[in-house]
A and B are shown apart, each in its own frame.
Chain A
Amino acid sequence: MATEHQSETLLKVDAISLSFGGVHALVDVSFDIQKGEIFSIIGPNGAGKSSMLNVINGVYQPTQGTITYKGEVRQGMRPHEAAVQGIARTFQNVALFKGMNTIDNLMTGRNLKMKSNLLMQGFYWGPAQNEEIVHRQAVENIIDFLEIQSIRKTPVGRLPYGLQKRVELGRALAAEPTLLLLDEPMAGMNLEEKENTCRFILDVNEELGTTIVLIEHDMSVVMDISDRVIVLDYGRKISEGAPDTVRNDQKVIDAYLGVAH
């Protein structure tokens, strides 16, 4: 599990609200994410978990509230700028580039690190070629790490679901993010695949020091690997704390099991 002393705040979410017309997806949600931790967001379906991730990496603009990332308040950020600042994510429904193979998907994850221009790329001369090779090496390291050597040249559309999820994790890792947002990385996986994915997540967190925000429905996974957990229900935060605290919170139990009125 993550390091002992976590004091530095990486991301501060302050009183975020998000509405689509009359639908309040998020209402006045606040929390802090510390550098180097595994932070989980849980809650019943439709609680606003994915919306929260979309706000963090700029796909949605919050209706109210501010987000402070690396000590700077962000205003109207686009996903592209979030990526530049080191935020990467995976999607609940696999969002790979299906027409491309595994290597190209991972290489695309490194697009921000590539500097050669259109003219150089077209003639594939000197710097452009070197750049491709350097980044290919980095991509191969990730391929080794995720143990997907055998599918490196397979078009990802042909891969089974579990492997697609793994390639998607690889694409996010290829960007060498500071903050990694994982939206249900284990949905639809069998036990063995879940164990593998847990191991990858823990390894990324420990070896690369990447801060991880995790949305997951499998409670045993969440309680095992998270440092801290928040619980959303109907767009509001109803609990926050260490896994054990949250597990025993009456409001959380009510939200999940329903409560007699």
Chain B
Amino acid sequence: MLYRETGQFKTSYKKDMAIFPIRQDRWALIATLIFVVVGVPLLATEHVIAGYLIPLLIWAIAAIGLNILTGYTGQLSLGHGAFMAVGAYSAYNLAARVPEIPIILVFLLAGLIAAIFGVLVGSPSLRIKGFYLAVATLAAQFFVEWVFATFPWFVGGAASMVIDTPKMTIFGYQITTTLDNYYLVLGFVVVGTLYAKNLVRSEIGRAWMAIRDMDVAAEVIGIRPLYTKLSAFAVSSFYGGVAGALYAFCYVKSVDFTAFDLFVSLKVLFMIIIGGMGSILGCFLGAAFIVVLPIILNEIAHLFAGQIPSAMLSNIEHMIFGGLIIFFLIVEPHGLARLWMTAKEKLRLWPFPH
């Protein structure tokens, strides 16, 4: 009843093929947008925005990138952290060495550089598939970590191999407060999400899914496997690169190779597995689950501080987190996004039985 499409007649293919064809979805989306633009700054504390929301949004961008490659195109990647690192270091070097470039362009260029790197990493994907490709991307991960840990040139010669990111200005306006950073990230998230959503419902998105579902048949109907896979690598690492740059500039405010290690790659992979492979919404749900849940568990744990030894507390935290992951994977192996789909199906009739 709450989610009924009755009476929403589509009289043209254009309407039927709209990005959000169901009215309730559009309302929900507009409400969410208003909430995150107007509501959040009014309601949330600076601590919540800087500590929860900014990383959540950045991880969602990274997850969209990996989902395009792994969820939509079926190419398993363990090197997403490397693409993020390439994006972060590119952005730093562009911004520090050529301060004339507007910061938004810096982020986009950083994405492009990551995309080129992604195409290089993905180039063996025509020949090697599945787990073997995952190992190849793993090699990229270690290679990138090694490069950024070894050559101080990438951090402007800083001996500590860690350096603060330069100040950001947009049209003369300096990005300083948490809220400025939040809006900057939010802008990238909104545009990036719509862009990804459009891609996956267009010809290129269908080609990606065709390669994932049945690559021989895809080739027989005229899809070029190499181009399709490499375009997925390019778009995926573009998102990864932008996410990495935003992570460095808007969240941790420094460039540090340890921030993009293998664990980061796995973290993004967990996000899309838990959120839902082949779903843009799933990227947000997965990011929320992986990023925000531990923080919330941590806050809850603080309530018990003093009563339980802190070492034990942090262990319990990890156990609950791990337990929840397993619980969700058993309840819905296709991820939170599928859970939401099922809920929507039910809501079409609820509360009436038929």
Tell me whether A129 is interfacial, beta carbon within 8 Å. Answer: yes
Min Cβ gap A74→B in Å is 15
The residues of B that contact A136 with a CB separation of less than 8 Å are 13, 16-17
Q: Mark B1-20, 1 if CB is under 8 A from A, else 0.
A: 00000000000011011010
Chain B residue nearest to A118 (CB atoms) is B204
A133 to B16, CA, bound (A): 10
Q: Are A132 and B17 in contact (CB under 8 A)?
A: yes
Residues 62-88 (chain A) with a chain B CB within 8 angstroms: 78-80, 82-84, 88
A97 to B221, CA, bound (A): 12
Tell me whether A234 is interfacial, beta carbon within 8 Å. Answer: no
Residue of B202, B222, B278 most packed against chain A (CB within 10 A): B222
Q: Which of A91, A111, A121, A133 contacts B13 (CB 8 A)?
A: A133
Q: Which of A83, A107, A114, A123 contacts B195 (CB 8 A)?
A: A123
How many B residues are at the interface, by size bracket? Answer: 20 to 34
Q: Mark A104-145, 1 if CB is under 8 A from B, else 0.
A: 100111011010101001111000110111001100100000
Q: Are A99 and B278 in contact (CB under 8 A)?
A: yes
Q: Are A97 and B218 in contact (CB under 8 A)?
A: yes
Tell me whether A100 is interfacial, beta carbon within 8 Å. Answer: yes
Min Cβ gap A115→B in Å is 9
The residues of B that contact A109 with a CB separation of less than 8 Å are 221
Chain A residue nearest to B12 (CB atoms) is A133
Q: Are A91 and B217 in contact (CB under 8 A)?
A: yes
Q: Are A121 and B223 in contact (CB under 8 A)?
A: no
Q: Are A97 and B224 in contact (CB under 8 A)?
A: no
Q: Are B19 and A124 in contact (CB under 8 A)?
A: yes
| Number of chain A residues whose Cβ lies closer than 8 Å to a Cβ of chain B | 41
The residues of A that contact B346 with a CB separation of less than 8 Å are none
Min Cβ gap A82→B in Å is 8
Q: Are B222 and A100 in contact (CB under 8 A)?
A: no
Min Cβ gap A111→B in Å is 6
A112 to B220, CA, bound (A): 11
Tell me whether B198 is interfacial, beta carbon within 8 Å. Answer: yes
Residue of A84, A91, A95, A108 most packed against chain B (CB within 10 A): A108
Chain A residue nearest to B206 (CB atoms) is A108
Chain B residue nearest to A88 (CB atoms) is B221
* 7 A-B pairs with least C-beta separation: A83-B222, A121-B202, A95-B217, A97-B213, A112-B222, A124-B198, A122-B195
A136 to B217, CA, bound (A): 21
Q: Are A96 and B206 in contact (CB under 8 A)?
A: no
The residues of A that contact B209 with a CB separation of less than 8 Å are 97, 99-100, 104, 108
Q: A133-B17, A140-B13 are in contact. Are A108 and B278 (CB under 8 A)?
A: no
Residue of A82, A107, A122 most packed against chain B (CB within 10 A): A122
The residues of A that contact B198 with a CB separation of less than 8 Å are 121-124
Residues 160-200 (chain A) with a chain B CB within 8 angstroms: 171-172, 175
